[in-house]
Amino acid sequence: MFEKLLIMMKEQMQTINQKLAVEYLKFFYPPLRNEIIQLSVQDNFAGIMQATVNYLKNLLQESKISIIAHHIKLMDWLYRNGNSYVRDMIENMFVRSFESFKKHAKIQHWKLLYQYMPVSFQIIYNEQQKQDQIYFGK
């Protein structure tokens, strides 16, 4: 499996599309591999993104902040290399979920997660918060 990932990374000449993103996510999230495979057969990329968010929320309940931070960095790599569809899904599902993380995390855990968060995700998250304030008064 690792060799397959290395080959995919070396051959990456273009941006990562939905199909290739699924392959990376299967590698990045071994406990979710079967669920990701099942959802990809149904062409349900949104469901795959939601599964990754749910997985990280479970890790948050277990206070596994460094593991969550690692997964956020992996998702950032996918975001930076993804096509517009992959990027939109990460913005609208993955980064959008950070508000829920903030609500359910201990304050010191949220501060650590935010600190570990790549700047690109901090900017997106803060912009989403501003837009929510404007449109929903949140």
CA dihedral 129, 131, 134, 136 (to 10 degrees): -70
Q: At residue 68, does pLDDT exceed 80? A: yes
Domain boundaries, position 105: 2-136
**What rounded mean pLDDT belongs to the chain?**
91
Q: What pLDDT sits at residue 136? A: 86
Q: How many domains does the chain have?
A: 1
Q: Are 36 and 29 in contact (CB under 8 A)?
A: yes
pLDDT in tens, 45-54: 999 999 999 9
pTM: 0.85
pLDDT digits (tens, 9 = 90+) for 15-36: 899 999 999 999 999 999 999 9
Tell me: the pLDDT tens digits for 52-62? 999 999 999 99
Burial readout 124-136 (b: 16 or more C-beta within 10 A, e: otherwise): bbeebeeeeeeee
